[in-house]
A and B are shown apart, each in its own frame.
Chain A
Amino acid sequence: MVTKKESSNYILQNARVIDPKNGVDAICDIGIENGLFADPSKISNPKKIDLKGMVIAPGFIDMHVHLREPGGKDKETIRTGTMAAAAGGFTTIVAMPNTNPLADNASTIEYIKTHCEESACVNVLPSGCISKGSEGVEMSPIGGLKKAGIVAVTDDGKCVQNHELMKHVLIYSKTFKIPVLDHCQDSFLAEGGLVAEGYWSTIKGLRGIPVASETIMVSRDIILAEAADWKVHIQHVSAGASVDMIRDAQKKKVKVTAEVTPHHIALTDECIKDYDTNFKMSPPLRSEEDRKKLIKGLQDGTISVIATDHAPHTSTDKLVEFAYAPFGVVGLETAVSICLTELYHKGFLSLSDLISKFTVGPAQVLGLDIGSIEMGKKADLTIFNPDVSYTIDADSFYSKSRNTPFNGKEVKGRVMGTVVSGRFVYSMIDGLKGSF
């Protein structure tokens, strides 16, 4: 964390404060002193900031981010990735371990932590690999990684195909209270696949990735999590059938949780009809029926987390034949606006329920005491205006990469300020400068 500058003391006034964890939804003042939440009436020399018309929420958490450092600095760095997070309203992000070298060893975690201290402007929580080399054969040193500071394990981008290994990982991780995050994908069924198997893959002659490649692994994970009595978290659910399975398992008290990305909520596989590689991601965009079931899953609580799967790629990487382009899209700087547009303004989620998907939801999965506004705690806040409209412009991104599926999209709702430990790391508020 960069903490070069002294943080000021603030009283944030006239905003609608929504803190789902504490059941708060009211116009009230928020006090910040020495980087912590404080009683507004007892702060010395506060700067008073009028935030009329805006919403103040606990700092948003994105538990699925690819920062690409080490090893992929042409796509993103810890610096640019955390700037993008700040501009997108995220105060805490979980860094995926598929860097180069992979975060399957304590020294890579140390490297990431050191570089974050030098250059990150939001809180970065590292995750570690499930298996050594993410090869799905041998368990990574989960205990040592925990000591080094990871908050979760995942082989994201890959999926452990060996069910026995996954069984043991779930049993073993429980000892260290480390949640297991899984990119559910059967590699035989998905091999060579480029887009969702269905109408558009058929019409456009692109190899399809069937729903079964996801649901088979979701069901595997549910079965093994139940036996291990430990937490498995299904990353970026794309298929409606997966939501149904997760819902049923949760009814049986299996410790399974799930996240969905803004792009799976907002888009369908029809988007690939012009072979635009900015719609190529894994898991793929699926049908309208799937999209509706994902929203249903958010509404009834089956899906407790919205995460971006921010996956930066250079224009050179993406400006190729569809089959040869890498999977992935950036998401940090568009997530909040897309979700306000697609979920809040369309009436699917209340503001409080939407905020909980970015705060309480991920905090619970990770088992961390963050994502709420409480006296004496670190003052991490996300400030947004739910009613301001604008057009997404990839060229304005702080991320090094531009591979967004939302360029040119009209959205309603915009992040106006991001506060990390009492410091405005990003601000579009009149008269208040943010500094990454």
Chain B
Amino acid sequence: MTEIKWTRKDLLGMEDLSADEITFILDTAEEFKKVNERRVKKVPALRGITVVNFFVEPSTRTRASFELAEQRLSADIVNMSASTSSLSKGESLLDTAKNIEALQVDILVMRHAASGAHQFLAKNLKCAVINAGDGAHEHPTQALLDIFTIREKKKKIKGLNISIIGDILHSRVARSNIYALLKLGANVTIAGPPTLLPKEFEKIGVRLCDNLKDAVADADVVNLLRIQHERQRASYFPSIGEYASVYGINRESIKYVKKDALIMHPGPINRGVELDSEFADGKQSVILEQVTNGLAVRMAVLYLVSGCLKS
């Protein structure tokens, strides 16, 4: 493994990281991917380290991915959710976290519905904090696994045209991808219903597009976000059906997508909405590879962060 040049106790988001730091995580993840391809997939890198997976907001795949990553690194792990913690008894997040820390926990992996919850805890705790998703803010390990997958397939990031389609306004996946991809020199386009497309992103160099055809025409990567109409309190767009017909990848719209473009999705897919099954399972799709790579990326993050723990 390369020499450690990682100095952060926490992974809060991609916005804070430099291009070198992002690349370093990706390089480290490549090593862990090799570990995952061996028959014996366990390494002792985190032996004696205690990790708490604290999912205040429900999650299935991210949580499973982190748990497995921790187990493969030989960490001791405890899983907590909002309902199994004292949050359900009215304890504040900070008190709950301080109690977890008082058990000599080294790393806290958390998902939380409030943007900035991780910054808030990291400021007030000595243990490492890894962001597994905070509100509409960031989901750094998702961006890392997306970029890892792109880099593996396209052999580079710089200069690639990457289009992210969907509800950008409420998406932490979009934000983390945007911040990281821009730092690595990609051209980022965002597209979706104009009500869900914050024009402020233009100020940091993102191209906005309100129609799918223009958004995907030159794209080397098309990253489709899960649309969650049921979670929108206001009427941002008329219906799931209309979304599918205007912004979904289907037999008609696939014509505009380059033949060598990667089709990505952070999951879970609404088949027939963002993406028709034919293309979710098609040759251009790298969706399951994203999941596989997520494990390597999370192992890398846990490993790097553990190297900066204060004794």
Interface residues of A (CB under 8 A from B): 191-192, 198-199, 201-207, 274-275, 316, 319-324
Q: Does B114 contact A (CB under 8 A)?
A: yes
When A and B form their complex, what is the total count of cross-chain residue pairs whose Cβ atoms lie within 8 Å? 60
**Which of A199, A275, A316 is close to B120, meaning CB atoms less than 8 Å apart?**
A275
CB of B200 within 8 A of CB of A322, answer: no
Q: Does B172 contact A (CB under 8 A)?
A: yes
A314 to chain B, nearest CB (A): 12
- In the assembled complex, 12 residue pairs joining A and B whose CB atoms fall closer than 8 Å, in A order, are A191-B233, A192-B233, A202-B200, A203-B200, A204-B115, A274-B119, A275-B115, A320-B93, A321-B112, A322-B114, A322-B117, A323-B114
CB of B117 within 8 A of CB of A321, answer: yes
Assembled-state Cα–Cα distance A323/B118 (Å): 12
CB of A204 within 8 A of CB of B120, answer: no
Assembled-state Cα–Cα distance A282/B233 (Å): 21
Chain B, range 236-263, C-beta contacts under 8 Å to A = none
10 closest cross-chain pairs (CB), A and B: A275-B116, A205-B137, A205-B136, A321-B114, A202-B200, A323-B114, A205-B115, A202-B198, A199-B200, A322-B116
Assembled-state Cα–Cα distance A319/B233 (Å): 27
Q: Does B10 contact A (CB under 8 A)?
A: no
Which residues of A sit under 8 angstroms from B135, Cβ to Cβ?
205-206, 323
Assembled-state Cα–Cα distance A201/B135 (Å): 12
Which residues of B sit under 8 angstroms from A324, Cβ to Cβ?
114
Chain B, range 53-100, C-beta contacts under 8 Å to A = 92-94
CB of B138 within 8 A of CB of A205, answer: yes
A74 to chain B, nearest CB (A): 15
Assembled-state Cα–Cα distance A204/B203 (Å): 14
Q: Which of B15, B113, B114, B134 has the most CB of A within 10 A?
A: B114
CB of B114 within 8 A of CB of A319, answer: no
Which residues of B sit under 8 angstroms from A322, Cβ to Cβ?
114-117, 120
Assembled-state Cα–Cα distance A275/B93 (Å): 15
Assembled-state Cα–Cα distance A191/B234 (Å): 10
B28 to chain A, nearest CB (A): 27
Q: Which residue of B lies closest to A319 (CB)?
A: B94
Assembled-state Cα–Cα distance A275/B123 (Å): 11
A158 to chain B, nearest CB (A): 19
Interface residues of B (CB under 8 A from A): 15, 92-94, 112-117, 119-120, 134-138, 172, 175, 198, 200-201, 203-204, 233
Assembled-state Cα–Cα distance A199/B201 (Å): 8
B206 to chain A, nearest CB (A): 10
Which residues of B sit under 8 angstroms from A275, Cβ to Cβ?
115-116, 119-120
B241 to chain A, nearest CB (A): 25
CB of B112 within 8 A of CB of A205, answer: no
**12 more A-B residue pairs beyond the given contacts A203-B175, A205-B138, A321-B116, with a C-beta to C-beta distance below 8 A:** A203-B200, A204-B115, A204-B137, A206-B137, A275-B116, A275-B120, A320-B94, A321-B93, A321-B112, A321-B114, A322-B117, A323-B135
Q: Which residue of A lies closest to B171 (CB)?
A: A205
Which residues of A sit under 8 angstroms from B112, Cβ to Cβ?
321
B189 to chain A, nearest CB (A): 16
Assembled-state Cα–Cα distance A204/B115 (Å): 7
B13 to chain A, nearest CB (A): 9
Assembled-state Cα–Cα distance A274/B93 (Å): 17
Assembled-state Cα–Cα distance A320/B92 (Å): 7
Q: Which of B112, B115, B200 has the most CB of A within 10 A?
A: B115
B115 to chain A, nearest CB (A): 4
Given contacts A319-B92, A321-B93, contact A203 B116 (CB under 8 A): no
**Which of A198, A205, A320, A323 is close to B175, meaning CB atoms less than 8 Å apart?**
A205
A103 to chain B, nearest CB (A): 29
B123 to chain A, nearest CB (A): 8
Which residues of A sit under 8 angstroms from B203, Cβ to Cβ?
199
Q: Which residue of B lies closest to A320 (CB)?
A: B92
A155 to chain B, nearest CB (A): 23
Which residues of A sit under 8 angstroms from B134, Cβ to Cβ?
205
Assembled-state Cα–Cα distance A206/B92 (Å): 20
Assembled-state Cα–Cα distance A199/B203 (Å): 8
Assembled-state Cα–Cα distance A206/B112 (Å): 13
Assembled-state Cα–Cα distance A2/B238 (Å): 62
Which residues of A sit under 8 angstroms from B114, Cβ to Cβ?
321-324
Which residues of B sit under 8 angstroms from A320, Cβ to Cβ?
92-94, 120
